[in-house]
Structure 1
Amino acid sequence: MANISTLDAGASPLHYYGFELRRYREAAGLTQRELGQITNYTGSLIGQIETARKVPTLEFSQRMDAALGTGGLLTRLHPLVMRTQLPAWFQQVAELEVRAVEICSFQTHMVLGLLQTPDYARAVLGAVDRDKLDDRTAARLARQRVFEKENPPVFWAILSEAALHLQIGDRETMRGQLAHLLTFEDNPLINIQVLPSDTGAHAGLTGSFNLYRFTDDPTILYTESYGSGYPTANPDTVKDCSLRYDHLQAAALSIKESAELIRGVMEDRYGEQVA
């Protein structure tokens, strides 16, 4: 466990964040308790973050930047800190999301992390392992800040209709998740299509996959299995899955029709029940 005297700023982004927070606090002549009083946090929490025992939130970072006059340093560090809280095998994918100019995703059974609500993400991540669930959920949701960049990627998401019906969490969680998908209905950068259940055999039967396209670099195909991810730039494999994605888009409902289907499932399956 790290402490004030042994914290190594080079050990990880979380350690560097803690080191810088402490450095700015001490330069301001404030104790942890005094800084906590200014920012409405406990001195104990500030101490835990300074010693890399707890992960900071975005709001915490913004308040500390304002109180300590850091020029926004901690807020800028926050995405990097959160990215390193993801499973090691998934961190490369988070980097691809940040760099990509276009992301194309096909999901067979659940909503992709970039579109998940907090309750839905928590239910997904806590299905088997509830250890550090708050931090893991925050790390997943932090990936969505990619859409807040100055030049965010164009995102195409094709969901199997089964993903709308598989109840993850309680009914209210699912209703909130489907309502969240509908908020993107008029967003030209985030495009959601549903592959209806009556499509029959289709190009995505082998499973979910993502394509990441870049301005100058080759397209990356990403697939995963339990606890492992498989990115590849193999031209033949990428070409094959790009063609599969084209066929899936052709078979899927239009963006408008998809929104209508999502709205219908939300009301019919997850609407308020009459006793």
Structure 2
Amino acid sequence: MVNIRDLDPSASPLDYYGAELRRLREEARLKQGQLGDMVFCTASLIGQIETARKVPTREFSERLDVSLGTDGLFSRLVGLVLRSQLPSWFQAYAAMEAKASYISSFQAQLVYGLLQTEEYAREVLGVRGTKGLDTKVAARIERQRILERENPPLMWVVLSEAVLHQEIGGRKVMRNQLAHLLALQSREWVQVQILPFEVGAHTGLMGSFNLLRFEDDPDLVYTEDFVQGHMTANPQALREGSLRYDHLQAAALSVEDSAARIARVMEERYGHQPEPDGLKVA
């Protein structure tokens, strides 16, 4: 039997979620095992979530709402829980990203987080180890829900061509990631341009950065180093970032030619050859 401990619901979103789950389960006069059967998990998992030792998933939360008749309560709470699992230095940016009406991003090495597939994100986030990896991936995928809103932010992303060639997770992962980029371009509010190798020197050589624009708040520019992120509304920084981004957009391939470049790299570099350690089929 899972050891029951008292929770302070105000300690964190995860503690609040666990406390509410225990309270509503007990109100329904259900044992942990009974609720587990209803949501297709073990009694142990219910206990771990109730005691804030395990982070719930969105799928689990949706099943809870159906089983307990909670009218979307846990589906709403899980967004807060997953956001709280992001690195503390990144949480402020994620909150502003979710409020932005226009997102401009230049990425020199990786696909922008909002456009990553789950498999690609898992490889990126797991590069230093797998501890807590499922939660990290779930938190990143949760960020992407802003693209599914009724009024999603307009997004314009410039990717260095190096992003297409930096093989993350093997050919299959990369092929699926590039196919995802192509599929996203069917959404009128998402535009992707490729900055080709032949451009040579460009204004993004100093590294990746994002510009966030808002309807009612000051614009922001965001950069990262290997330790943390930096977000500022300093007018001079915004001016410099905007100028650099304008030059990058001008130097990049058109949206249509960018899609053709992505498709070409996907076919030529990550086509349906067997993996290096795969077996040939007779």
* Partners of 1:17 and 1:77 within 8 A in 2: yes
Shift of 1:129: 2.6
Match for residue 59 of structure 2? 59
Indicate the percent of aligned positions where both proteins have the same amino acid. Answer: 57
2:184 aligns to what SS in structure 1? coil
Shift of 1:3: 5.9
TM-score, length-scaled by structure 1: 0.97
Shift of 1:261: 0.5
Match for residue 219 of structure 1? 219
**Greater displacement, 125-134 / 188-197:** 125-134
Paired letter, 2:16? Y
1:75 matches 2:75: yes
Match for residue 187 of structure 2? 187
Shift of 1:42: 1.2
Paired letter, 1:54? K
Take 1:17 and 1:147, find their aligned partners in 2: how far apart are those partners? 25
Q: How does 1:128-167 map to 2 (within 5 A)?
A: 128-167=128-167
1:209 matches 2:180: no
Match for residue 247 of structure 1? 247
Q: How does 1:91-110 map to 2 (within 5 A)?
A: 91-110=91-110
Paired letter, 1:184? L
1:192 aligns to what SS in structure 2? strand
Take 1:149 and 1:186, find their aligned partners in 2: how far apart are those partners? 16
* Partners of 2:103 and 2:156 within 8 A in 1: yes
Q: Deviation digits for residues 107-158 of structure 1, max 9, x if unmatched?
A: 0011011111111111111112321111111111111011122321111110
Match for residue 277 of structure 2? none
Gaps spanning 5+ residues in structure 1: where?
Answer: none
Take 2:116 and 2:167, find their aligned partners in 1: how far apart are those partners? 14
Take 2:230 and 2:90, find their aligned partners in 1: how far apart are those partners? 9
Shift of 1:106: 0.2
Take 2:61 and 2:118, find their aligned partners in 1: how far apart are those partners? 19
2:240 aligns to what SS in structure 1? helix
Match for residue 18 of structure 2? 18
Match for residue 117 of structure 1? 117
* Partners of 2:5 and 2:51 within 8 A in 1: no
* Partners of 1:185 and 1:256 within 8 A in 2: no
Q: How many residues are paired up?
A: 274
Take 1:163 and 1:97, find their aligned partners in 2: how far apart are those partners? 22
Q: Deviation digits for residues 193-218 of structure 1, max 9, x if unmatched?
A: 10001011111111100001100111
1:169 matches 2:169: yes
Paired letter, 1:9? P
Q: Deviation digits for residues 35-67 of structure 1, max 9, x if unmatched?
A: 111121111111111111111111100000111
Give runs of ≥4 in structure 1 deviating > 3 Å: 2-5
Take 1:78 and 1:213, find their aligned partners in 2: how far apart are those partners? 26
Take 1:148 and 1:32, find their aligned partners in 2: how far apart are those partners? 33
Paired letter, 1:271? G
Take 2:3 and 2:90, find their aligned partners in 1: how far apart are those partners? 28
Take 1:94 and 1:129, find their aligned partners in 2: how far apart are those partners? 23
Shift of 1:253: 0.9
Paired letter, 2:183? T
Cα RMSD (Å) of the superposition? 1.3
* Partners of 1:159 and 1:194 within 8 A in 2: yes
Paired letter, 1:135? T
Take 1:82 and 1:233, find their aligned partners in 2: how far apart are those partners? 26
2:193 aligns to what SS in structure 1? strand
Shift of 1:240: 1.1
Shift of 1:257: 0.8
TM-score, length-scaled by structure 2: 0.94
Paired letter, 1:268? E
